[in-house]
Amino acid sequence: MSNLNSLQYFIPELFLIVAILVIIVVDLFLKKNKKIVSAYLAALTLVVTIFLAYQQYGYSPALLFKGMIVLDSFAIFFKIITALSTLIVIFISLPSFRTKAEYYVLLLIVTLGMFLMVEVNNLLMIIISMEMVGLISYVLVGFNKHDLKSSEASLKFMLYGATSTAVMAFGFSYIYGISGHLNLDVIQQSLIINQPQALPLFVAFMMVLAGLGYKIAMVPFHFWVPDVYEGAPTPITAFLSVGPKAAGLALLIRFLITLVAHPSAGNAANFIQNVSIHAPLLLAALAVATMTLGNLSALMQKNIKRMLGYSAIAHVGYMLMALVVFNNQGIIAVMFYIVVYLFMNFGAFCVVESLTDKLGSEKISAYTGLGYRAPFTAIAMAIFMFSLTGLPPFAGFIGKLYLFAAVINQSWYILALIGLLNSVISLYYYATVVKVMFLNRQENAPPLRVALYNKLLIGALLIPTLVLGLYWSPVINFTSRSIGFLFGK
């Protein structure tokens, strides 16, 4: 579609760009004590953007801007998810970031980057959109300039990010060299027709995985996670563990089903590889490594943010596990899991953010006896923890059920077994938090007063975590409808 005609399908992004500029200008006219208005404006922007993105559901899939990006329901689904994650982060940040309009502007720019990440159809756009998310995230991670840990985290994040992007770009150069094209759908056709050698494609695939794996914190590209998660401001940690990760997974899925595989002729729900490079086996190995390493490292953590960081790695492992099967069932399971994960992970981080100031520590041991000092918050935390473990009747259980069902349906029994064992391991460290909160008691500890605003926010995240565990069919239907990919014609 030509550039001018594409604009009408680009309205959410255009609105976001205009809003970013407006907020920057409005901020100049705000008095010092009124800076919070830009935060409200940013939240309003995201609500409108989500609405605009939802409006796009009716469109038939189309290539926009001469094949640079693609608008299909898969992209729209992830646009809504990522915008929602930014919205929740803004709500979590409101109490602590009251004077800095830049913070909210940067969050909106990251959102724009995530929008582009989930709808790319061009190797160049992949790099630009990933850099848009990455580059701005480095600033957000180091936003507390006077906090040494925050600055260190920012620098580490940047060094790892730059290296992984460079490796990925090198991989892209191979893909371009093999196929001679930049647009993903054209590359797919070229690979199917020309059947190039497997080795260069395999190496290119590995290099691209380095870039994407870094974004979603996949082992062995996860080294930045614990330090960055610990050093970053808590709302940003929460954000990194959901928003960019969802966008990265969407990009990975799009990459897997265009460059690595294509829908089989008879049955569009299954994918066969363009050139046989053992991608499922490689992904299975990475999934096992990711969840096992994430869970085992989480066992030893004393800091709750580090612990949640390693647990986030483990959750990526579970999601990768379902991508191994290369069919629609696996992709739907991952998409559903992201919805569930969004609520429970944000919930856990929201509790941490509400308590850190009050307790003056992020150590798990500081949560001792919390069940008696702040009952509502502690119970909510316990529910989030059990949901993250995947225990019924919470949402995490249903999410994991779909993931495992997709894997078992395709007879990857050993993989499913390892996933199950990992869930058992994860119960230990999640339950430790609950045990510390309820079974241990601090003598003479006064009750903690958690602000009403935080309680409301935790409650708002708690409701979906509970409801989706019992009544999830609307969400799974919505997810199944969102799997309309645009394949190369």
Partner 1 sequence: MEPNEILFLFIAVATVVSAAIVAFSSKIIHSAFALLASFMGFAALYVYLSAGFLAVTQILIYVGGILILILFGVMMTHGIYDTAKKTAHNALSVSLLGGLAIAAVLLLIITRSPWAPILHKPFQPTTQLIGAAILTNYLLPFEIISVLLLGALIGAVYLARAEDKQK
**Interface with partner 1 (CB under 8 A), residue from 19, 63, 114, 125:** 125
**Residue 169 binding partner 1, by CB under 8 A:** no
For helices 328-359 and 395-409, angle between their N-to-C axes, nearest 10 degrees = 150
For residues 85 to 124, the per-residue mask of contacts with partner 1, x marking binding by CB under 8 A and - elsewhere, is ---------------x-x--xx--xx-xx--x-----x-x
CA 272 from chain centre, in angstroms, equals 26
Q: Which of 56, 86, 118, 142 binds partner 1 (CB under 8 A)?
A: 142
- Report the residue from 36, 131, 435, 467 that binds partner 1 according to the rule CB under 8 A: 131
312 is an interface residue for partner 1 by CB under 8 A: no
Query: Of 132 and 218, which CB lies nearer to partner 1 in the complex structure?
Result: 132
Nearer to partner 1, 66 or 363 (CB): 66
**CA 353-225-339 angle, 5° bins:** 65
Q: According to the binding rule CB under 8 A, does residue 263 interact with partner 1?
A: no
Angle between helices 36-55 and 11-29 (to 10 degrees): 170
Nearer to partner 1, 226 or 347 (CB): 226
Q: Site for partner 1 (CB under 8 A): which residue of 9, 54, 57, 174?
A: 174
List all residues 6 or more positions away from 401 whose beta carbon is below 8 Å from its beta carbon: none
Burial 226-249 (b: 16+ CB within 10 A, else e): bbbbbbbbbbbbbbbbbbbbbbbb
Maximum separation of any 2 CA atoms in the chain, in Å: 74
Instruction: Decide if 389 contacts 423 (C-beta within 8 A).
Output: yes
- Is residue 69 at the binding interface for partner 1, with CB under 8 A as the rule? yes
By beta-carbon proximity to partner 1, the closer residue of 180 and 459 is 180
Q: How far apart are CA 24 and CA 20, in angstroms?
A: 6
Tell whether residue 257 is a contact of partner 1 (CB under 8 A).
no
Contacts of 34 (CB under 8 A, 6+ apart): none
Residue 136 contacts partner 1 per CB under 8 A:
yes
Q: Assess 62 for contact with partner 1 (CB under 8 A).
A: no
Interhelix angle for 36-55 vs 73-93, to 10°? 160
Residue in 74, 77, 97, 138 binding partner 1, rule: CB under 8 A:
138
Nearer to partner 1, 207 or 350 (CB): 207
E-only strand ranges, 34-128: 62-64, 69-71
Residues 12-41, mask of contacts with partner 1 (x by CB under 8 A) = -----x--x---x-----------------
Tell me if 129 contacts partner 1 by CB under 8 A.
Answer: yes
> Is position 177 an interface residue for partner 1 (rule: CB under 8 A)?
yes
**Cα–Cα distance measured from residue 141 to residue 229, given in angstroms and rounded to the nearest whole number:** 9
Q: Which is nearer to partner 1, 65 or 341 (CB)?
A: 65
Q: What phi, psi does 271 have (nearest 5°)?
A: -120, 140
Min dist. Cβ of residue 20 to partner 1 (A):
7
What are the CA-CA distances from residue 328 to residues 92, 183, 184, 269, 485 (Å)? 34, 23, 19, 5, 10
Cis-peptide into 393, omega within 30 deg: yes
> Contact between 178 and partner 1 (CB under 8 A)?
yes
What is the contact surface with partner 1 in residues (CB under 8 A)?
3, 6, 17, 20, 24, 64-66, 68-69, 100, 102, 105-106, 109-110, 112-113, 116, 122, 124-125, 128-129, 131-132, 135-136, 138-139, 142-143, 145-146, 174, 176-180, 196-197, 199-200, 203
